[in-house]
Every structure is written in structure tokens, then in C-alpha cells.
């Protein structure tokens, strides 16, 4: 009987390398970053609300979104430094997308069969 209990426990063991003591845990840093970004979204929605009016269908939908999202943003989740970081991140992403868009536009406009020009890499001082 004791041998059978040992065999049953052995069949239910976790795969090699997986320990039940260290299961997956949420990344608190990502969660805090997400709350900051969500707080920024809620702030943007509050800026949209006066433009559409709270009594319009769109305004009511915006209010509903604000109310449902705001409960996930604790007080103090949006800091001036966090806002600045989000703005800088958006500006960087916009610049990268603009550059990629310009490169794609140039590639479409170049005659068929020709490779788009690639800017020469600047030579470093002292390089042979």
C-alpha cells in the first residue's frame, strides 16, 4: 500500500526544472508602468470629454471608459516624471516610424530595378 502511494506521488511530479515553490509571479515593475500609462490614457480621456460634451453619445461612452479605467489607477500612479517618460517614449517611437515611413516612400518612388540609396557611414577620426 505504501509503495502504491509513492508511485502515485511520483507520477504527479512537476517536469524537470520546474519547482512548485517558484511558480510564475506578476512582474510588479511592468504592472506599475502599465498603471502609469493607463493613468495617462485616463487623463487624455478627461481632456476629450469637454470637446464632445458629456451628454452626447460619444461623451457618455468616454465617461463610461473613464469610470471603468480609473479604478485601476491608484492615486499617485501618474507622476510628472512618469508623464515625461511616456512623452519621450512616444516621441522616440514617432521619430522611428517617420524615418521608416520616409524610407519606404523613397523605395517605392525609385525606378524599378534600382536599389534605394543608402547613406554612407561617416568615417571615425583615426580609423584606417
Model pLDDT for residues 11-67, shown as the tens digit of each residue: 566 566 655 566 677 788 888 888 888 998 999 999 999 999 989 999 999 999 999
User: If 0-12 CB within 10 Å is exposed, 13-18 middle and 19+ buried, where does residue 69 land?
Assistant: middle
Predicted pLDDT of residue 91: 93
d(CA 84, CA 79): 9
pTM: 0.54
Amino acid at each position: 500500500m505504501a509503495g502504491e502511494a509513492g508511485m502515485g506521488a511520483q507520477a504527479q511530479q512537476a517536469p524537470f526544472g520546474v519547482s512548485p515553490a517558484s511558480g510564475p509571479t506578476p512582474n510588479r515593475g511592468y504592472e506599475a508602468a502599465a498603471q502609469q500609462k493607463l493613468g495617462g490614457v485616463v487623463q487624455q480621456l478627461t481632456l476629450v470629454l469637454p470637446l464632445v460634451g458629456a451628454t452626447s453619445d460619444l461623451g457618455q461612452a468616454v465617461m463610461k471608459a473613464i469610470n471603468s479605467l480609473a479604478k485601476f489607477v491608484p492615486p499617485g500612479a501618474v507622476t510628472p516624471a512618469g508623464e515625461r517618460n511616456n512623452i519621450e517614449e512616444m516621441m522616440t517611437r514617432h521619430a522611428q516610424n517617420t524615418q521608416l515611413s520616409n524610407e519606404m516612400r523613397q523605395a517605392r518612388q525609385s525606378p524599378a530595378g534600382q536599389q534605394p540609396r543608402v547613406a554612407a557611414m561617416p568615417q571615425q577620426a583615426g580609423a584606417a
